[in-house]
Structure 1
């Protein structure tokens, strides 16, 4: 509903004519002013329709050029030249100069009062203002419903539609949480990060809202704070500045995002339990109702894909404590929390475009090993979980493994099946010792093999003296009837261990 030069010319009651043809018909007009001053530009701010009868128009072409050039530089939308008083027609040289400057020149015939043009524009601005208020009144509850139903990505989508701009939510580490309705222009994002600076993510010293204007973009960035700390930013990218009501919507969205980030304690706890139950259904491969799929879709990337990361901890107690940190790390990154614990294992749902770096950052400071499954559709979460478990078994302490990315033979289904079939048969004597409460010779063997037979490294990893390790290795060789000095035997046993060893919950195995 823009008020432009073209729109004004379409108002037949005004009987206006463009002397410069189709030049500048799309230029916006925000008001009409009357002035006969030659230096009128000094009192203008841009966007005006300047109405004049040419009473003090310079007589020479150079003077008229300076006059129109000053108006063009001030950002005047167009000139409305009244005829029938001082001039019977709009001077030809004035039209030529206006065309050269890109400034539309309109003829206002004598019967049309300047006040009629001003009232027409005022009515139009009032109608536009009312339409904006109506849209804002509809958008605010729609945004509230969106954040409840679909979280921050849904809210960003609703705000983008209301503003007709691109909306980007950025977490406290500078990573893009979501971009709606499409990925932000890389050049615009460069300006966003440059405007914020390296320390802006952690400091509240800078202004809560900033505007950057480039040749192609107008970028508004709203800081999102919680508990005295900066937790993210909301960036709005478009080809024009935001109006007053649009800025109100941005502020409303920022408040909703803050509330979503904080969450009431009881509500957040109940939501986390609900999410854990829904993820549990998906991990088991159960058929999910539509409402559950909608919930899980919040964790997906823009292609609707998710992937599973399985974290293994040394005991179920440690795993239970780790769930809180993993959940907090997800929340800090504006991610929905889908965590499910089973004994010493914690399953977390990530976006399909996440990688080992993301998984590693979630578990920063935790002693664990982890594996990533393939990016999959919601219906294949169970398959991704199985792959993640396999990858976790191939990991060492502190490592996150993606078998497909690393091109490991353990990612081949046939290899996995064959090795799992050998696990309980080949390692039965060691498993029986562990089941009877004896030494965990399975973990001892794995540590020894992962250390490539280096006694000092393996003993340190297990936490025993190297002489104790030598005794255990000798016992293992006797129970299995093997010679661990043989490279082929070591390789075979390590592959079998990686394929299926999952010590019982509560035992110190790592």
Structure 2
């Protein structure tokens, strides 16, 4: 945009201003001699005309001026000396009434000289703007190499004279140059998604945001994106820090080497309401447990998330999900490693309320599970199962069934014990059992028949079915595997 003040100060053009425009700037200059110029007039432009179409219709020239203003012109330059010796008074009155600029172009000044002068000035200013933009981009790039996101935003905000802030997918402010304030102009830029992580650069301004401003904003967003991307080479270090901070928060012993790092805050994975979900995984050997952690980390990395895990002992760990995570979503993250783990999924809890008591409760719930099984918050708790009489009776039933099947599995390389456990937990539904075991329905039916024969039980009898189900879910310290 160019200023009318600049245009009228070009002495060589000999322009004679008559009526000032309500607009201080204009986008360009064009010539027009059409009576109906609606589709050709550029917005906020200056129109030059000698009004040849109104040679014998001076009384209609004022209406033509109104037509140009309605089409988008902010000023009109009338060439005098050919059709009209001077600018008619009716046109001047109309210009004053409409607030559109009006000036006279003497006969000796060609329209093309005005168009060329404007074009040359626009090119000169564009060149200057481009050089400033490149210099600013270089400065921002240099600042970004120092890795300070807040400094990057402050420097970009200074160049553009705006306020900048970055928010995440939970609408939390990640970095900002000033407290939130309602300003006249607003814009936002969606940054690159990293799995479930999404950041947005927001711009608040007291002045219109120009094309050069937007270019610099996009450049700033790209640099900020790289600073927030959390490079792969830093991932392991960040995972270890999260693990240490989680153990420190819960008062758990450090099972690895002591560290000098003493974090004061813990970045819980939480949903928009601030809730997290604790999950405990137990294994029979350290290799299976490590595979479980590696599977979690790999799948979380694909989603752009970090691993929040704390080693409880050599055969168990605590893992945190966002509170709004779905059950199947959590199970899928374990992938194939789930079959070698016992998993207890806790209820949604506010991140600040998570304690070692919650962890101990989940460990107690997970310990009796068969390998490859899990408990969710919907699993029913039955305290009477812990009475001595019931425990003794169920232990006897386990020895007669579960333990017998495990012995046979080991000798014949079968999977009868797990089949019975899944069948009971699926309520005796063969289709669901087969789907969970990833076997054919007929195979599941044959295994159940074989189990009934080997253990001399009738699983169609409700009392027998219930007793066996209680036997495998009993919440005790007995190792049922």
The TM-score, its normalising length taken from structure 1, stands at: 0.53
Q: Which residue of 1 aligns with 2:248?
A: 281
For residues 420 and 16 of structure 1, what CA distance do their matches in structure 2 show?
A: 99
How far the C-alpha of 1:327 sits from its partner, in A, is 0.6
- 2:323 maps to 1:352: yes
- 2:466 maps to 1:500: no
Match of 1:263 among 220, 225, 232: 232
Q: Would the alpha carbon gap of residues 232 and 387 (structure 1) be closer, same or farther in structure 2, given more than 3 Å must change?
A: same
Q: Tell me, what secondary structure is at the counterpart of 1:340?
A: strand
Does structure 2 conserve the Cα–Cα contact (< 8 Å) formed by 1:308 and 1:348?
yes
For residues 143 and 491 of structure 1, what CA distance do their matches in structure 2 show?
A: 65
Does structure 2 conserve the Cα–Cα contact (< 8 Å) formed by 1:313 and 1:345?
yes
Q: Which residue of 1 aligns with 2:280?
A: 310
**In the TM superposition, what are the counterparts of 1:164-203 in structure 2 within 5 Å?**
178-179=170-171, 181=173
**In the TM superposition, what are the counterparts of 1:32-181 in structure 2 within 5 Å?**
33=28, 50=45, 60-70=61-71, 72=72, 78-79=74-75, 86=87, 91-94=92-95, 105=100, 141=143, 145=147, 178-179=170-171, 181=173
For residues 155 and 478 of structure 2, what CA distance do their matches in structure 1 show?
A: 48
How far the C-alpha of 1:500 sits from its partner, in A, is 2.3
For residues 362 and 168 of structure 1, what CA distance do their matches in structure 2 show?
A: 27
Q: Which runs of 5+ in 1 are unaligned?
A: 9-14, 99-103, 170-176, 183-215, 478-482
Tell me the number of residue pairs that the alignment of Structure 1 and Structure 2 aligns.
Answer: 398
For residues 155 and 396 of structure 2, what CA distance do their matches in structure 1 show?
A: 59
Q: Tell me, what secondary structure is at the counterpart of 1:323?
A: helix
Q: Would the alpha carbon gap of residues 285 and 343 (structure 1) be closer, same or farther in structure 2, given more than 3 Å must change?
A: closer
Deviation digits for residues 351-377 of structure 1, max 9, x if unmatched? Answer: 223222431332234434552332322
Match of 1:320 among 290, 309, 316: 290
Q: Tell me, what secondary structure is at the counterpart of 2:345?
A: strand
Does structure 1 conserve the Cα–Cα contact (< 8 Å) formed by 2:19 and 2:96?
no
The alignment's C-alpha RMSD in Å is 6.5
Match of 2:265 among 285, 291, 294: 294
Does structure 1 conserve the Cα–Cα contact (< 8 Å) formed by 2:20 and 2:102?
yes
Q: Would the alpha carbon gap of residues 438 and 396 (structure 1) be closer, same or farther in structure 2, given more than 3 Å must change?
A: closer
**In the TM superposition, what are the counterparts of 1:362-373 in structure 2 within 5 Å?**
362-368=333-339, 369-373=343-347
How far the C-alpha of 1:248 sits from its partner, in A, is 0.8
Does structure 2 conserve the Cα–Cα contact (< 8 Å) formed by 1:371 and 1:389?
no
For residues 88 and 346 of structure 1, what CA distance do their matches in structure 2 show?
A: 90
Does structure 1 conserve the Cα–Cα contact (< 8 Å) formed by 2:140 and 2:152?
no
Match of 2:304 among 331, 334, 342: 334
How far the C-alpha of 1:91 sits from its partner, in A, is 3.3
Match of 1:426 among 386, 392, 400: 392
Q: Which residue of 1 aligns with 2:348?
A: 374
Q: Would the alpha carbon gap of residues 268 and 363 (structure 1) be closer, same or farther in structure 2, given more than 3 Å must change?
A: same
Does structure 1 conserve the Cα–Cα contact (< 8 Å) formed by 2:19 and 2:103?
yes
How far the C-alpha of 1:326 sits from its partner, in A, is 0.5
Match of 1:450 among 408, 425, 443: 425
Does structure 1 conserve the Cα–Cα contact (< 8 Å) formed by 2:152 and 2:220?
no
Does structure 2 conserve the Cα–Cα contact (< 8 Å) formed by 1:53 and 1:86?
no
Q: Tell me, what secondary structure is at the counterpart of 1:91?
A: helix
For residues 214 and 367 of structure 2, what CA distance do their matches in structure 1 show?
A: 56
How far the C-alpha of 1:471 sits from its partner, in A, is 4.7
